Amino acid sequence: MPLILLTNDDGILAPGINALRQELEKIDGLEIWSVAPDRERSASGHAITTYRPLFPLEAKIPGARTPCYSVTGTPADSAKLAIDELLPRRPDLVISGINHGSNLGTDIFYSGTVAAALEGPILGIPAVASSLDLGPGADYGLAARFTADLALKVLREGLPPGTLLNVNIPGLPEEEIKGVRITRMGRRLYKDQWDRRVDPRGRTYYWLAGEVMELDNGPDTDVSAVAEGYISVTPVQLDLTRQDQMDRLRNWNLKV
């Protein structure tokens, strides 16, 4: 029976992971374990905890028919501890999400959702990261159904080593979603990113803020797909080597 690790960065109590767990629990022949941070840990990137130990605790989630655990650490900690120590055996698939908010373009470097999923490919296990764009029509039920279907497809078809699928679902009601696009990573920047203030003692401090400013986004990017009402599915690789620069750098003749 395939074993699925379900994790996220919004915490074990978040609506996204629970919608997805409920959807997966409807499918016969799957074993599901949910292991996620004990609280919201968005924008954690791939941080791991080395100065404190981690406590895993069984989480009592109303209605859950499969094991649920919280971990006192980051998303990557939770996925790593689950795979190495908590699950009864090595999982066949890691699913992270459904995140509250999209993870498009360069967002994926900051995303705890994607980082937790990447613990799969790092250990040779396929993975899916799934995020729901915010919007008045955002529907975790729809996002959960799409992600569960995709998970079954990945279990059947497999993914090459070192690969995950990064899924983003528009924040629209089902009837307004136009379809699914296989996409590449776009680019997303934030402008006026810092809110500068002065504290009561006269010291300057900054809040990270800012509005999304989209750039360089062809129709084949994740950013454009979601903006146009399509679900985006981006294959993401673990090998970050920029192969096309290797010969050029060799010609620099670097010496000690």
β-pair partners for 131: 99, 168
Measure the CA–CA gap between 111 and 105, rounded to whole angstroms. 11
CB 215 within 8 A of CB 189: yes
Measured from the CB atom, the residue of 39 and 65 that comes closer to a copy of itself is 39
Among 18, 22, 42, 131, indicate the residue that binds a copy of itself (CB under 8 A): 42
Of 155-174, binders to a copy of itself (CB under 8 A) are 157, 159-160, 163, 165, 174
82 contacts a copy of itself (rule: CB under 8 A):
no
Least separation in angstroms between residue 3's CB and a copy of itself is 19
Please state the φ and ψ torsions of residue 222, each to the nearest 5 degrees: -65, -40
110 contacts a copy of itself (rule: CB under 8 A):
yes
Please state the φ and ψ torsions of residue 252, each to the nearest 5 degrees: -75, -15
Least separation in angstroms between residue 63's CB and a copy of itself is 26
49 contacts a copy of itself (rule: CB under 8 A):
yes
CB 137 within 8 A of CB 171: yes
Q: Per residue in 86-110, is it b (16+ CB within 10 Å) or e — as a string?
A: ebeeebbbbbbbbbbbbbbbbbbee
Which residue has tokens 């994790």? 7
| Residue 129 host element (H or E) | strand 127-132
β-pair partners for 163: 237
Measured from the CB atom, the residue of 62 and 255 that comes closer to a copy of itself is 255
Among 23, 77, 92, 133, indicate the residue that binds a copy of itself (CB under 8 A): 77
Residue 252 CB neighbours (<10 A): 7
Of the candidate spans 18-26, 42-50, 92-100, 127-135, the one that interacts with a copy of itself by CB under 8 A turns out to be 42-50
Measure the CA–CA gap between 153 and 168, rounded to whole angstroms. 17
Among 90, 173, 182, 213, indicate the residue that binds a copy of itself (CB under 8 A): 182
Measured from the CB atom, the residue of 62 and 157 that comes closer to a copy of itself is 157
Among 15, 84, 213, 228, indicate the residue that binds a copy of itself (CB under 8 A): 84
Task: Name 87's Cβ contacts closer than 8 Å, sequence gap at least 6.
Answer: 3, 5, 33, 35
User: In this structure, which amino acid lies at residue 111?
Assistant: S
Measured from the CB atom, the residue of 15 and 218 that comes closer to a copy of itself is 218
46 contacts a copy of itself (rule: CB under 8 A):
yes
Least separation in angstroms between residue 12's CB and a copy of itself is 17
202 contacts a copy of itself (rule: CB under 8 A):
no
204 contacts a copy of itself (rule: CB under 8 A):
yes
Site string for a copy of itself, 8-37 (x = CB under 8 A): ------------------------------
